[in-house]
């Protein structure tokens, strides 16, 4: 996103906040003091202040801060509203003028020192209230905006229609191919092909246009965290700076909404467990201030979001101890790093002995892993002791239309979201081994569990000696799903399945193919749960009470 677009966003947003402030002031002037009215102005002003700071309008930020101070004094009843209402009304006009100036020249950075001094003077009583300032009348109209607010539902409806259009187009293409077989390459057939091709391009453009319209910069999410990080770090005697990279990267709004909570847990973990307190950092020769970097970027059809911290890194010895304590590992197990990393994504896992306000209750990373899978994404962790930890999340750009791998088992076709797939390999029956009644395969020097699609979904049919394995990735773990045949990759429109008859376990939704056939979309979480279940059956710990309610919630959120 261009800087000028950011400015536009800022201005659109700012006018909304200023509008709230304005109408509150007018009501205060008319009806005198109402505590709620004053309080109602604080939120918008605070956001405006924050945004101004983020956009580099330092002076505006300081000015708004002064206004906040005035309002706080009013709330504390140190100052009567009557004595400052004029100054406040003036201040709204000042902000209005500043916004207008920025609108006229996005690179300008108005200096408000005089106004700041004036408002301080008024507060301190050294200025008994001056005459109202003259204001340019056109500033009341606000800056012209290029954006409109639209109910998101309308975009959903549009996208659905486009999805159907894509399906019909594919159908027409198939009919065209059939027709060529019948009438040969007469000119009418050529014209039809030409027409279809043009229509296809237009539809693709339409689809992309609507997808773009649903996109928001990831800053919408990132921007929510600086305050949280500060408030979390303060009582732990930590200094933490949150740095953004690539915050202009755009994501579908549905993904934006769903990514908030996973990021919250990861960042919270970085502050609580990753970054050391000031003393320890100084002792180990690090900068006093820890840095957490939130980075976003696009890679083909995916968005990569990283949370990096320069803290102490994951203490794998403690992870191992905690896992043994919880019975997840036996004392004589020799887990490798990958096993340990996947343990921290397990339910109810925490190495922290004391609990902070919202962290350390042993919930968090399991939710993260689950939510990411639900979004058809993947999460991986890399950690170097003493140097820090990097969480990398890979997500599809959109939740509505995703690339999927079409696979066959028996007579059935299933779609597996590409974002969950690492790769696919061709194997023979004798490559599969059985350990403790569970099928596994040796893959890149690792032994990974195999889930058979036909078995999982009770699909009838005869197995062949040669078949395919789809390797799924989740954090450091790998899982192979056995299918009879691969049909290739395809963009599919996800439609939710009606749940009148209950949710069908293992099915994330359905999609209509070009030939009108319906394929079901496999819910990769279910495959993971199957292996998890096998693992659990082997351990004594059957259920984790702490994780119960959260799982219920996670399920309700599923579409």
Partner 1 sequence: MPEIHLPASGLAEEILPRYQDKKQGFHLVTFHLGEEYGVPIHQVREIIRVSGITMVPNSPSYMEGVINLRGRVLPVLNLRKRLKLAAKEIGKTSRIVVAEAGEKVIGLLVDAVSHVIRVAPESVESAPEEVLEIDTDYITGVGKLKNRLVILLDLEKLLRRENIETSDIEDQGGTHGKED
Give the interface segment with partner 1, choosing from 160-168, 208-216, 271-279, 470-478 (CB under 8 A). Answer: 160-168
* Both structure tokens of 171: 């159908």
Among 543, 546, 549, 559, binds partner 1 (CB under 8 A): 543
| DSSP structure string for 341-395 | HHHHTSTT----SS--SSS-SS-SHHHHHHHHHHTT-EEEEEEETTTEEEEEEEE
Among 173, 254, 497, 514, binds partner 1 (CB under 8 A): 497
When the beta carbons of 55 and 166 are compared against partner 1, the nearer one is 166
By the rule CB under 8 A, 545 interacts with partner 1: no
Say if strands 239-245 and 401-409 run parallel, antiparallel, or are unpaired.
unpaired
What are 481's two structure tokens?
């799903």
Task: Tell me which of 76, 354, 498, 540 binds partner 1, using CB under 8 A.
Answer: 498
- 3-state DSSP helix/strand/coil % of the chain, to nearest 5: 50, 20, 30
| Residue 340 sits in the site that holds partner 1 (CB under 8 A) | no
Shortest distance, position 495 Cβ to partner 1, whole Å: 5
Nearest Cα neighbor of 379 from 495, 499, 473 is: 473
Q: Is 244 in the site for partner 1 (CB under 8 A)?
A: no
Interface residue with partner 1 among 178, 458, 462, 465 (CB under 8 A) is 458
517 binds partner 1 (CB under 8 A): yes
Q: How far is the CB of 157 from partner 1 (least distance, A)?
A: 13
Q: Which residues contact 525 (CB under 8 A, 6 or more apart)?
A: 370, 373, 374
Give 486's strand partners.
Answer: 407
- Rule CB under 8 A: say whether 507 interacts with partner 1: yes
Choices 334-342, 384-392, 484-492, 495-503 (CB under 8 A): range interacting with partner 1: 495-503
Contact 377, 398 (CB under 8 A): no
Check residue 519 for interaction with partner 1 (CB under 8 A): yes
User: 485-493 and 477-483: which strand pairing?
Assistant: unpaired
Nearer to partner 1, 33 or 551 (CB): 551
Write out the H or E segment, with its range, that includes residue 306.
strand 302-309
Give the nearest distance from C-beta 322 to partner 1 in angstroms. 20
Per DSSP (E only), the strands in 397-549 are 401-409, 412-417, 421-428, 432-435, 438-443, 446-452, 466-474, 477-483, 485-493, 507-512, 518-522
Shortest distance (Å) from residue 22 CB to partner 1? 42
CB 326, min distance to partner 1, A: 16
Tell me if 530 contacts partner 1 by CB under 8 A: yes
Tokens of 153: 């539902």
Q: Is 500 in the site for partner 1 (CB under 8 A)?
A: yes
Is 89 near partner 1 (CB under 8 A)? Answer: no
* Contacting positions for partner 1 (CB under 8 A): 163-164, 167-168, 347, 412, 456-459, 495, 497-498, 500-507, 510, 512, 516-520, 525-526, 529-530, 532-533, 543, 551, 554-555, 558
């Amino acid at each position: 996103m261009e800087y000028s677009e950011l400015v536009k966003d800022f201005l659109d947003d700012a006018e909304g906040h200023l509008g709230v402030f304005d109408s509150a002031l007018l009501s205060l002037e008319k009806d005198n003091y109402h505590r709620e009215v004053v309080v109602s102005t604080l939120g918008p002003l605070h956001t405006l202040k924050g945004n101004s700071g983020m956009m580099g309008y330092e002076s505006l930020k300081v000015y708004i801060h002064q206004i906040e101070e005035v309002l706080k004094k009013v709330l504390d009843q140190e100052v009567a509203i009557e004595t400052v209402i004029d100054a406040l009304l003036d201040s709204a006009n000042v902000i209005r003028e500043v916004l207008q100036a920025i609108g006229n020249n996005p690179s300008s950075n108005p200096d408000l020192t005089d106004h700041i001094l004036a408002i301080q003077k008024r507060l301190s009583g050294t200025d008994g209230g001056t005459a109202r300032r003259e204001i340019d009348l056109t500033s009341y109209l606000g800056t012209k905006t290029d954006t409109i607010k639209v109910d998101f539902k309308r975009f959903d409806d549009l996208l659905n229609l486009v999805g159907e259009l894509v399906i019909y187009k594919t159908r027409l293409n198939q009919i065209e191919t059939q027709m060529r077989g019948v009438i040969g390459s007469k000119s009418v057939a050529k014209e039809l092909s030409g027409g279809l091709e043009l229509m296809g391009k237009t539809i693709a453009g339409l689809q992309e246009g609507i997808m773009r319209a649903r996109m928001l910069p990831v800053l919408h999410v990132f921007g929510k965290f600086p305050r949280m990080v500060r408030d979390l770090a303060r009582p732990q005697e930590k200094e933490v700076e949150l740095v953004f990279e690539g915050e202009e990267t755009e994501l579908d709004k549905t993904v934006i909404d769903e990514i908030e909570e996973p990021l919250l847990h990861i960042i919270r973990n970085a502050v609580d467990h990753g970054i050391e307190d000031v003393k320890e950092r100084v002792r180990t020769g690090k900068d006093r201030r820890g840095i957490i970097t939130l980075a976003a970027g696009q890679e083909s059809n995916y968005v990569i979001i990283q949370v990096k911290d320069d803290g102490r890194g994951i203490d794998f010895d403690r992870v191992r101890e905690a896992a043994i304590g919880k019975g997840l590992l036996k004392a004589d197990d020799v887990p490798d790093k990958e096993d340990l990393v996947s343990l921290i994504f397990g339910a109810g896992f925490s190495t922290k002995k004391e609990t902070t306000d919202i962290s350390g209750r042993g919930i968090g990373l399991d939710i993260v892993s689950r939510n990411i899978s639900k979004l058809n994404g993947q999460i991986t962790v890399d950690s170097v002791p003493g140097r820090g930890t990097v969480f990398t999340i890979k997500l599809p750009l959109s939740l509505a239309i995703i690339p999927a791998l079409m696979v066959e088992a028996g007579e059935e076709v299933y779609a597996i979201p590409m974002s969950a797939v690492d790769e696919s390999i061709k194997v023979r029956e004798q490559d599969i081994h059985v350990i403790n009644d569970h099928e596994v395969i040796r893959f890149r020097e690792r032994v990974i569990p195999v889930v058979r699609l036909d078995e999982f979904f009770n699909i009838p049919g005869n197995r062949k000696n040669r078949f395919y394995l789809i390797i799924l990735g989740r954090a450091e773990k790998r899982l192979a799903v056995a299918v009879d045949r691969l049909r290739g990759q395809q963009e599919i429109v996800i439609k939710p399945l009606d749940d009148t008859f209950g949710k069908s376990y293992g099915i994330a939704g359905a999609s209509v193919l070009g030939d009108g056939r319906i394929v079901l979309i496999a819910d990769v979480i279910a495959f993971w749960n199957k292996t998890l279940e096998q693992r659990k059956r082997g351990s004594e710990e059957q259920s984790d009470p702490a994780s119960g309610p959260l799982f219920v919630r996670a399920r309700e959120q599923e579409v």
